[in-house]
Amino acid sequence: MCFGFTSCSHDIDTLSQEEIDQMKANEIIENYKKAFVAQFGQPAADQDWGFGTTTRGITRSWNVNGNQWHDGVNYNYEYDAPVTTAEKNLVFNYVNNVNNVEKVDQISFTQYWVAQIWNGKTDQNADGVKAPVSHSYPNQNGAITDIIGGAQMDKLEILEKAGTWTHCNNFNAADNNDWKEGGEEGRTLMENSGTLSFRYTNSQSSYLSEKYIIVPGEKIDASLKGFYYVCFDFERGYTDAEWAQEKTMGTYEAWNGNNYQGGWNFTLDGNLNEDQVKAAIGQQNGRDIQNINIKGYLYGDKHCDGDGNYTDWIVRISPAKVKSSDEYSVRVIAEDLTFGQDLDTDFDFNDVVFDVCLKTTETKIRLKAAGGTLPLIIGVDNPQNDQDYIANEVHNLFGVGVNVMVNTHADKKGLSSASKEDAFLTLTKHYSNAKDIPVYVKKNGAWVELTAVQGEPASKIGVDINFKWVDERDSMKGEYPLFVDWVKADATFRSKIKWW
């Protein structure tokens, strides 16, 4: 035993400074891991911390809620052109001419905007012309109901891939008024979706209709090239339950030779024509059935086949273009391994916040915030001499001292704080995954790397590019309660948790 301790003591005395620094770093990391588990629980064994894919650095699905988070959101896509009155009139007048209706190839986009163009319930062109009224089937008394299609069309749905329909958010009641960017009609951003087909529901039933045409904008006017207009004709079909109960109703006469025998009402199962009615009633006691009058149907006044005019509802589809060649595809939030007694206020993951553009020959960094007060560098492997890396130190890039917190509202907590525009750093090395970009903090005299090792407590996390980071010393799990569930959940359950 004594020999062992003596040997260890001798080994410590002869360690290099680099080995001593590594021991310090290991101790810091182990203490951080224990505190992390105490705060959030043991991470799932397959937890990849948001860095699951190599091309974008983070797995992202279609985003139908973008328009709901428009306040302060910096989308990575150029907004499409505002919808103008002139455009609406051009589109309506073209589609309203039934001679222009033709079948076109289905469009194929995965990132695109959906913009509101026309609501057949209320919109009218410059001459006051509106979408024509549709007519129902006759009811059992022969009465036909006028139907304003735009008033009954609801919930735009898009077939994003085979077998998967998704609701395009905010397009309800043949309208979208939830977001008027600069005054134009509402729009929704769809990401990693598809445009295999389109449909709507009917406000009076569960019937779904895919009766639409697609008109390329350039067919309408040269100024609309690049836009595609999905135009719906209102129809209201039978649900299975209604069809099973449908009855044809009317009157018929019975004749024996030239002798009139009287007239009767009839009610027969199914939607039948005159020959089918005659066959169903059959000959009665030698009397011929004549002068059949089909008045209508039990559910007729709720149904129509459409009128061939596709102006009941029109939306515009346009590809969403990346703002520039510098596509920042993932945001990294990190914790500098500092914690104290109050764990809730220490794990805010805002000690550095930066966006990453994974280019082919280089990697671009867009710094958003620095909530730590320790030297912290990005893009340097195994740092040694502090002065060699000043160009990569985040506080220096923001033009402030290390003791100043940037863009985390630290002033509200009485801390030294600054508000700064984004800062930029270009790394000459190419990284295929943002997880692999080295981030080091100097703590207790040792440079310690911030990591995201699968299944272990992480000190950096990949999030959506629009993620709103936590204010200084606010609680991560207080701001985002589902984060705790996400940390511990397996991949299947994690895919269902939108913790941010």
Q: Give the model confidence (pLDDT) of 432-441 as tens digits.
A: 899 999 999 9
> Given a cut of 80, is residue 70 above it in pLDDT?
no
- Between 449 and 56, whose confidence is greater? 449
Give the pLDDT confidence score for residue 65 in this predicted structure: 47
Highest mean pLDDT: which of 37-41, 48-52, 228-232, 234-238?
228-232
Under 8 Å between Cβ of 187 and 80: yes
332-341, 391-400, 417-426, 474-483: lowest mean pLDDT where?
332-341
Tell which residue, 86, 134, 144, has the closest CA to residue 310.
134
Q: Give residue 385's pLDDT band: very low, low, confident or very high (50, 70, 90).
A: confident
* pLDDT score recorded for residue 343: 52
Answer yes or no: are the C-beta atoms of 58 and 51 closer than 8 Å.
yes
Q: For residue 454, is pLDDT > 80?
A: yes
Mean pLDDT of 294-306: 90
pLDDT interval class at 57 (50, 70, 90):
very low
Q: Which of 58-62, 149-153, 169-173 has the highest mean pLDDT?
A: 149-153
- More confident position, 275 or 52: 275
* pLDDT over threshold 70, residue 60: no
Mean pLDDT calculated for residue range 162-190: 75
- For residue 15, the model assigns a pLDDT of 56
Q: What is the C-alpha separation between 120 and 133, in angstroms, rounded?
A: 9
Residue 56 has pLDDT above 50, yes or no: no
Q: Is the pLDDT of residue 66 over 80?
A: no
Q: Tens digits of per-residue pLDDT, 343-358?
A: 555 789 999 999 999 8
Confidence of residue 342 (pLDDT cuts 50, 70, 90): low
Q: What is the pLDDT of residues 198-249, one digit of tens each?
A: 999 887 777 889 999 999 999 999 999 999 999 999 998 888 888 888 999 9
* Domain ranges, ordered by start, for the chain: 16-58+329-494, 66-238+304-319, 247-297
pLDDT value of position 263: 94
Give yes or no for residue 11 having a pLDDT over 90: no
237, amino acid identity: G
- CA torsion 94-196-154-167 (nearest 10°) is -140
* pLDDT confidence bin for 68, thresholds 50/70/90: very low
Q: Which residue has the higher pLDDT, 140 or 70?
A: 140
Q: Find where tokens 């000690």 sit.
A: 351
pLDDT band at 325 (very low <50, low <70, confident <90, very high): low
pLDDT at 341 > cutoff 80: no
Share of the chain above pLDDT 90, in %: 53
CB-count exposure of residue 413 (10 Å: 0-12, 13-18, 19+): middle
User: What pLDDT band is residue 28 in, cutting at 50, 70 and 90?
Assistant: confident
Residue 8, pLDDT score: 38
Q: Residue 12 pLDDT > 50, yes or no?
A: no
Give the span between the Cα atoms of 89 and 127, in whole angstroms: 10
> Model-level pTM?
0.55
What confidence category does residue 175 fall into, taking pLDDT thresholds of 50, 70 and 90?
A: confident
DSSP 412-442: GGT--EE----EEEEESS--SSGGGS-EEEE
Distance CA 431, CA 254 (A): 87
Tens of pLDDT, residue by residue over 271-292, are 899 999 999 998 777 889 999 9
Residue 400 has pLDDT above 80, yes or no: yes
Q: How far is CA 309 from CA 85, 92, 152, 244, in A?
A: 21, 11, 16, 29
- Determine how many CB atoms are found less than 10 A away from the CB of residue 388: 11
Confidence of residue 111 (pLDDT cuts 50, 70, 90): confident
**What is the rounded average pLDDT of the residues 185-197?**
80
Checking if the pLDDT of 425 tops 70, the result is: yes
Annotate 227-251 with DSSP letters as a single string.
Answer: -EEEEE---B---HHHHHH-EEEEE
pLDDT at 117 over 80: yes
Q: Which two tokens stand for residue 188?
A: 């929704």
The pLDDT, as a whole number, for residue 216 is 94
Confidence at residue 4, expressed as pLDDT on a 0 to 100 scale: 36
Ranges 4-8, 184-188, 235-239: which has the least confidence:
4-8
